[in-house]
Amino acid sequence: MKFPFYDAPNTATITCCHILENGEPILYVSHDEDDGMWQFLCGKAHETDEAKLVSLKSVFDLDNSVGILKDMPCGYYAERKAQDDEWSVRKR
């Protein structure tokens, strides 16, 4: 599948150790208003040291279903209940 995001594949994004190390699904995606940073998280609450910096491409390679969110503007976030669920996008 072609890389869908407008940001460069090597754009730094935030994910969490639960997704990276425990293989948990991505259930929460945020496109931050202030700096345009993408965050791909498991949906649980996080301590600062559980956040990991990775490239946007490595997140997309992990789960292609985040690609559908490429048009989500800054200041919005998306949630889903399970990996095969539809995303629901909301303004922050």
Q: Rule CB under 5 A: which residues touch Zn ion?
A: 16, 18, 42
CB of 2 to Zn ion, least distance (A): 28
CB 33 within 8 A of CB 75: yes
Kindly tell me which of 3 and 24 has the beta carbon lying closer to Zn ion.
24
Kindly tell me which of 71 and 85 has the beta carbon lying closer to Zn ion.
85
Number of Cβ within a 10 Å radius of residue 44: 11
Q: How far apart are CA 66 and CA 22, in angstroms?
A: 18
CB of 45 to Zn ion, least distance (A): 8
CB of 79 to Zn ion, least distance (A): 14
Reference 24, options 11, 4, 42; nearest CA is 42
SS3 state of residue 56: helix
Kindly tell me which of 18 and 31 has the beta carbon lying closer to Zn ion.
18
